[in-house]
Chain A
Amino acid sequence: MLPLAQVHIRDRTAQDPSCVAQNGFCPDWIRDHIGDYMSPLLRHVELTVVSVLAGFVIAFALALLARRRRWLIGPVTGVTGVMYTIPSLALFAILLPITGFGFVTGVIALTSYNLLVIFRNIMAGLDNVPEAAKDAATGMGMTDHQRLWQVELPLAIPEIVAGVRVATTTTVGLAALAFIAGAGGLGQQIITDIVFKSNIVTASVLCILLAAALDLLILGAQRAALPWRRAAG
């Protein structure tokens, strides 16, 4: 059984005793204590943003390699696919002896989950660039390097962004377990008091709102960056 070594994180006597003492859902308590959730929320944002950025950089490098050496696609998808299958709770625990307790371990595990989705979408985006556009670029005298950066990648942006959005919302959810690795975040806040409904609901709702906010932010950035696609949505 779980030794419920629970730290009752708040002084509850000051509030409505009937609700808080019964571990209920107490709007008043939430209003008074929402400030305590800001620092875990910020840590959650850090975990998500750093992991998605790191995942993007690695997946992007792999995709550029695989673009020229097509045989790499199979092995890269296979290895990142196995990483994707490993349960996050287990991966956090397995990494502990190697990278220790803390933020870095959380980021490494979360990054490994982003690789497959982002890599797959970058490859799909590049593969879907119309041959005619590539031919036109070559016909205009572009080098391979110019064609990649000025034609293929801009045309692949919608699919790449779709991958980053999936990776971001997924990471927000997974980061809720990063407390096992000692990386903090809203999950840490949830387990400080797992019987108090106000605590569970507040931390969970913040998680879901964070995922929605980051998703909208990326979508907004894409629309701002690609004015010619706005009509298509």
Chain B
Amino acid sequence: MTPAIVLASVFGQFSDGLDFLVHQRESVAGGVQVGGSTMWPLLGKHLEVVGLSMLFAVLVAVPLGLYLGHTRRGDFLASSISNVGRSVPAIAIVLFFSSYLGLSLVNLVFAMALLAIPPIFTNTYVGVRQVDGDVVDAARGMGLSGLQTVGKVELPLALPLVFGGIRTSVVNVIATATLGPFAGVVTLGDPIINASVYGEAGRIGTAILVAALAVTAEILFAALQRAVTPAALRPQRRGLRERLRTSPRLAQVADTPT
């Protein structure tokens, strides 16, 4: 085959994939309509799983990170949780939960929340720990209680990093939710995993959709992260990022692809 023919074939498969997303068609075995508007329930379920597991992860990881960061305990936990978290395959956790606890949306959400917690926890912890000790002392001196110090000083100063963690986790969770069919939840992963039902076009089209979803979430949450950074902090952000980039230990806090 000449390169031109290969290129044309690749282009054809991609445009067929995109066509799958906009127009319904019969499934490979026949009898069932797939693609087009039948994709909405899959997208809805995907986003539902992402939303629920993120909610759960944030509710667990942020308070824990704030507490351990405030009390200055948990250096070991913060560094080991992200190291271990990275090497555990997402599919292992999802299947482990579904095989031990059964196939259900709740179990999938629980498994995915476990994957989403480490980046949020570590970033929150590091965010609180990097707050200047003098600032905390000043807050104490002004008579703020422990809880007030957390709420009025440490959390606002840590917010950019907290949102950095949330951003990492959202992208991870959007990716991991594609494994939903293995836990009996029909997410956007279904056409990718079950190409024998949806066809090659379904696999490619949905893969493009999931990729677009992840990139959109990344851009959206990057903007959100900038928005929650207090104006007074923005010049300081550079210093923070510089430190993140240059310290090997802190650099490991940075995100993990899924």
Contacts and interface: CB of A to CB of B under 8 A. Distances in A.
Interface in B129-188: 171, 174-175, 178-179, 181-182, 184, 186
A127 B245 CA distance: 11
A187 B91 contact: yes
B246 A127 contact: yes
Contact of A85 (B99, B100, B178, B215): B215
A90 B92 contact: no
Interface of A is mostly: helix
B175 A159 contact: no
Contact of A201 (B13, B96, B186, B246): B96
A207 B257 contact: no
A158 to B, nearest CB: 7
Contacts of A51: none
B91 to A, nearest CB: 5
**A90, A121, A196: which has the most chain B beta carbons within 10 Å?**
A90
B246 A128 contact: yes
Given A94-B207, A128-B246, A88 B184 contact: no
B258 interface: yes
Contact of B89 (A23, A93, A173): A173
Interface stretch (B51-59, B65-73, B190-198, B227-235): B190-198
Contacts of A197: 99-100
A190 to B, nearest CB: 6
A89 B178 contact: yes
A93 B251 CA distance: 30
Interface string A125-162: 00110000000000000000000000000000011001
A109 to B, nearest CB: 10
Interface stretch (A8-16, A34-42, A62-70, A174-182): A174-182
A158 B246 CA distance: 11
A85 B182 contact: no
A88 B87 contact: no
Interface string A181-200: 00000110011001111001
A93 B14 CA distance: 11
A84 interface: yes
Given A97-B10, A124-B245, A128-B246, A86 B215 contact: yes
Interface residues of B, number: 54
B87 A207 contact: yes
A163 B178 CA distance: 28
B25 interface: no
Contacts of A190: 91-92, 95
Contact of B175 (A2, A82, A88): A88
A7 interface: no
A3 B214 CA distance: 27
Nearest to A93: B207
Contacts of B86: 166, 169-170, 173, 211
A162 B256 contact: no
Nearest to A116: B257
A196 B95 CA distance: 10
A124 B245 CA distance: 7
B5 interface: no
A85 B257 contact: yes
Interface in A56-104: 82, 84-94, 96-98
B164 to A, nearest CB: 13
Contacts of A86: 211, 214-215
A96 B203 contact: yes
Interface string B230-258: 00000000000000011010011011111
Given A84-B257, A87-B174, A176-B90, 9 more contacts: A87-B175, A87-B257, A88-B258, A89-B175, A89-B178, A91-B207, A162-B252, A174-B89, A190-B92
18 contacts: A1-B186, A3-B196, A3-B197, A84-B257, A85-B214, A87-B210, A89-B192, A90-B207, A92-B207, A170-B86, A170-B257, A172-B89, A174-B89, A176-B92, A191-B91, A191-B182, A196-B99, A204-B95
Interface of A: 1-3, 5, 23, 82, 84-94, 96-98, 113, 117, 120-121, 124, 127-128, 158-159, 162-163, 166, 169-170, 172-174, 176-177, 180, 186-187, 190-191, 194-197, 200-201, 203-204, 207-208, 211-212, 215
